[in-house]
Amino acid sequence: MKNIYGVLSVVILSASSVAALAGGDAVNTPPIEAKAVAEKTSTSVPMSEGEIKKIDKEAGKVTIKHGEIKNLDMPPMTMVFRIKDAALLDMLKVGDKINFAADNINGKLTVTQVEVSEVK
């Protein structure tokens, strides 16, 4: 009996794949994306230490002298990040020490979370 169910589910899967192909990517893509997003949000990005060196509100960028960023496999350095939400820049100023989370979003290194650990 198990074999029959196995064969049946393979047939059903194949049929839905064919239907998806016939209808274009739209049918097949959303569940895959949803799964990727769910995995990403459930995996917490570790916080890294940094110091604000420069803030560019118009460009939505911030220069941070940062410590090791484990999730990006990056050694300590000073570099420019994009900021996910420009409103986050309002709570920062040059010289502040921060804990922040950075992630690679569409190939751009982006600060996704910030908390000030030591106000200058």
From CA 116, how far away is CA 91, in angstroms rounded?
8
Size of the site for Cu ion (CB under 5 A): 3
Rule CB under 5 A: is residue 79 a binding residue for Cu ion? yes
Under rule CB under 5 A, residue 80 binds Cu ion: no
* Residue 103: strand, helix, or coil: strand
Residues near 17 by beta carbon (within 8 Å), at least 6 away in sequence: 28
Regarding 49 and contact with Cu ion (CB under 5 A), the answer is no
Which residue's CB is nearer to Cu ion, number 58 or number 73? 73
CB 114 within 8 A of CB 88: yes
Using the minimum distance from each CB to Cu ion, give the nearer residue, 79 or 88: 79
CB atoms within 10 A of CB 10: 10
| 45 makes contact with Cu ion (CB under 5 A) | no
Q: Is 77 in the site for Cu ion (CB under 5 A)?
A: yes
Binding site for Cu ion (CB under 5 A): 74, 77, 79
